[in-house]
Amino acid sequence: MRIAVTGLGAVSGIGFGVSENIESLRTGRHGMGKPRFFQTTLDVPVSEVKATNTELAKRLNLNAERTYSRTALLGLMAAREAVADAGIDVSKKRVGFISSTSVGGMDLSEVFYNDFRTDHNRGRLRLVSQHDCGASTEFIANQLGISGFVTTISTACSSAGNAIMLGARMLQHNMLDAVVAGGTDALCKFTLNGFGSLMILDKEHCRPFDATRAGLNLGEGAGYIVLQRSEDAAHAPYCLLTGYANANDAYHQTGCSPEGNGAFGSMSAAMAVAGLQPSEIDYINVHGTATPNNDLSEATAIRRIFGDRVPPFSSVKAFIGHTLGASEGIEAVYSALSVKNGYVYPNLNFKSADEAIGLAPETEFAEGRRVRNVLSNAFGFGGNDTSLVFSRAD
Amino acid sequence: MEELIEKLKGELIAELNLEEVTPADIDAEAPLFGDGGLGLDSIDALEIILILERNYGIKIENPAQGKEIFYSVKTLAEYITANQKK
Amino acid sequence: MKPVYITRTCQIANDQLVMDGVEAVLDYKEIIADPALRRRMSRIVKMGVACGLKCIEGLTPESIDAIITATGFGCLADTEKFIESIVANSERLLNPTPFIQSTFNTIGGQIALLRGIHSYNVTYAHRGLSFESALIDAAMQVNEGKKNVLLGAIDEITASSADIQRRLGMTREYELGEGANFFVLNATASGNKSAAVLDIDTRSGRLTDDKLIEWIVETANRNGIEISDLCIVANCNTATTDNIKKRLSLKNKPLQFKTCDYPTLSARALDFAINNSTANKTLIISDYQHINHSLILLGRG
């Protein structure tokens, strides 16, 4: 069975919709700036979606008077774009929606908590009733009119990769005919302070794979792709999803092993599912968070697989930040277009190679390259590593 | 110095939740991290940074910097004595 | 999909450990031997990790092909602890431990870490269908040729979440509950109580008893089973159970299971069904807060 990618949707700090995202990547316009849309005293760059919740609700033709979690709004925006792009009839029973998020409606819960902490009878209930991860998923599914299989995965930063993998497997098992899969996450105090407490936030603009890299910048957004069996596609697909795998590093709760065991496991297994040799991968969209630990560990795993023939690779995290549960949703969209149009994205802010890594990423936007297969990585807390392979449909 | 070492032992046990450890179990010169000592890990290192800043007014910006300072309770006490502001 | 067999069950609830339906000694220090990891664990993490470890006791790490967990609300105590520290300390000098432990996949990740299991590891967090989603994934894994798939569900009550759920009207019918349930799934039966999962179906939104009964009949028909032969395990309110009793002619009296409520209670209902139903075909009917519904059809191993 061939699984086709037939629809794409993305919103991030560098654009509303897929074309604005690509235009920003093409012109080197990143999304970093001081936090403007949520209250924090931390002085670190973040890549926010440049709109208030009210503006987002208006763009989505929702009643702007009501309270929505930002996670739900961003998710609806990207998922709606993906569905329209694929031209699928979502009212059919065998259309599924598999979303993912790392913190769900936390952006509202932390507002609720300010009142609740001193008196448990206080705090607006509408602010906390959307706390759980399933809330944004159900909201988006209802808005889209999807009544088939709906679920939510939450495996920290690899969440959306796992959602896409589940979608592909449900098509393989003939449990669904079409599936919208990806992830959404809004920035909030909780995650920003969480990564701050781990001392892995860079106070400057992050520099993936650079010798001077000193941590990550967070971002927010959402990304979804539509998967169908290729014979069911309404139009020529962007590409095929040929490989997927999930492996566990089982080394440390938040850090990666020096040998990159989990990353090695997920990348090699995804390539095996796709039936590909290392020489057939033409671009790797790396996880590349810009923490000293992640980039070294990921590079080590890449070397173990590709030896001295490492294909062109880059991290888009200096553009959009680490968007956590949404990251592989957005990056799957970028990867699909890399295969379709031969795009290779620049790894912004890379200047000098790290001797320990010994690899240099792509630094210029390219198009029309021969890109047969793209390998895309997403790694998360709990040692959770996921890799996807996107391949040309012809 | 002895007094500071005993105080630090108590703070480590409390802050790092070392439920089954008593101050007498901690050898001031034994390594805190890795095998053979208390077996602390990188998350503990972050918590020790907090102890230094909260209780002694000493700031450590980069966790990698802590490696030698955090070798043992004794090295920690020496560092505090040399840098304490509070 | 081919049937999959549940070859082990393990439950921790009300401070009791029950393995394959038999009560066993619950000693967290013995089960989670590494004090360095245990000291950071909140109640839900301890409960979940211990339950998962007991469920795979004696199996080698290499023989476990997947760890799939489910939780409706995740690690609430750690989540609140971290939010509280953000407010109390004005976003300064925060202890990272509750943040690390608050992640939804903490329990699955810790089991992998403690036993060195490098295989597939995923967590579902989708309200009252978290466990059903995980069960569907686990059944797919077994059908893909995977062995010893560890499947688990965990939820905890905290004082704050109890107050919030009470204010949201979620405790009108049942008091809140909590617990951990783990299972090992395989392609073939083994052990004396192994059960076969024959069908899983889910629905969201309000469901009238009429629609529910229609759905039960449909499910039985699809699987070629006489309704009268079914033993029903009712993880729904007693009014619905009474309606089912009245409307369907059943040889076996439905077993009323639900006495409390939490998002992954259906996992405990599955454990109950495996270890208590003597019928050849058992149907577990679950209703979470009248918004999430599932039917799980079991056969004998």
Identify all chain A residues contacting C99, using CB atoms and an 8 Å cutoff: 190, 193-194, 197-198
ipTM for the predicted complex: 0.98
Identify all chain A residues contacting B62, using CB atoms and an 8 Å cutoff: 199
State whether C258 and C143 are in the same domain: no
pLDDT band at B86 (very low <50, low <70, confident <90, very high): low
Reply yes or no on whether the pLDDT at C164 is more than 70.
Answer: yes
The distance of A115 to chain B (nearest Cα, Å) reads: 27
Interchain contact C1–A (C-beta under 8 A): yes
Reply yes or no on whether the pLDDT at A296 is more than 60.
Answer: yes
The distance of C36 to chain B (nearest Cα, Å) reads: 7
In chain C, whose CA is at the least distance from the CA of B33?
C36
Q: Of C186, C203, C228, which closes a domain?
A: C186
Residue A262 to residue C118, Cβ atoms within 8 A = yes
Parent domain of A112: 3-391
- Write the pLDDT tens digit of every residue in B37-51: 788 888 899 999 999
- CATH number (domain holding residue C146): 3.40.47.10
**Tokens of residue B36, six digits:** 């053979």
Instruction: From A141, A178, A149, A171, select the one nearest C200 (Cα to Cα).
Output: A149
For chain C, give the percent of residues with pLDDT over 70: 99
- CATH number (domain holding residue A152): 3.40.47.10
State whether C39 and C135 are in the same domain: yes
pLDDT value at position C1?
Answer: 83
Interchain contact B41–A (C-beta under 8 A): yes
- Name the residue ranges covered by the structural domains of chain B: 2-83
The distance of A28 to chain C (nearest Cα, Å) reads: 32
Residues 173-232 of A with CB under 8 A from B: 197-199
Q: Of C162, C186, C210, which closes a domain?
A: C186
pLDDT band at B85 (very low <50, low <70, confident <90, very high): low
* Mean pLDDT (whole number) for C163-176: 96
> At A143, which amino acid appears?
Q
The distance of B4 to chain C (nearest Cα, Å) reads: 22
Q: What is the dihedral of CA C272, C278, C280, C281, to 10 degrees?
A: -40
Identify all chain A residues contacting C168, using CB atoms and an 8 Å cutoff: 125, 128-129
In chain C, whose CA is at the least distance from the CA of B41?
C36
Parent domain of C35: 4-186
Residue B27: other Cβ atoms inside 10 A: 12
Report the phi/psi class of residue C296: left, alpha or beta, with left for phi > 0 and alpha for psi in -120 to 50.
beta
What residue has token string 């409307």?
Answer: C247
State whether C90 and C30 are in the same domain: yes
- Specify the number of domains making up chain C: 2
pLDDT band at C192 (very low <50, low <70, confident <90, very high): low
CATH number of B2-83: 1.10.1200.10
Lowest mean pLDDT among A104-118, A169-183, B15-29, C151-165: B15-29
**Distance from chain centroid for Cα C226:** 27
The 8-class DSSP code of residue A312 comes to P
Letter string b/e over residues A68-86, b meaning 16 or more CB atoms within 10 A of that residue's CB = bbbbbbbbbbbbbbbbebb
Mutation to test the B interface, candidates C27, C29, C39, C101, most B Cβ within 10 Å: C39
Reply yes or no on whether the pLDDT at A9 is more than 90.
Answer: yes
pLDDT band at C301 (very low <50, low <70, confident <90, very high): low
State whether C154 and C18 are in the same domain: yes
The 8-class DSSP code of residue A310 comes to P
Tell me how far apart the alpha carbons of residues A185 and A195 are, in angstroms, rounded to a whole number: 15
- Specify the number of domains making up chain A: 1
Q: Of C186, C211, C233, which closes a domain?
A: C186
Interchain contact B61–C (C-beta under 8 A): no
Reply yes or no on whether the pLDDT at A224 is more than 60.
Answer: yes
Query: What's the farthest any 2 CA atoms get from each other in chain B?
Result: 33
Reply yes or no on whether the pLDDT at A25 is more than 90.
Answer: yes
SS3 C227: helix
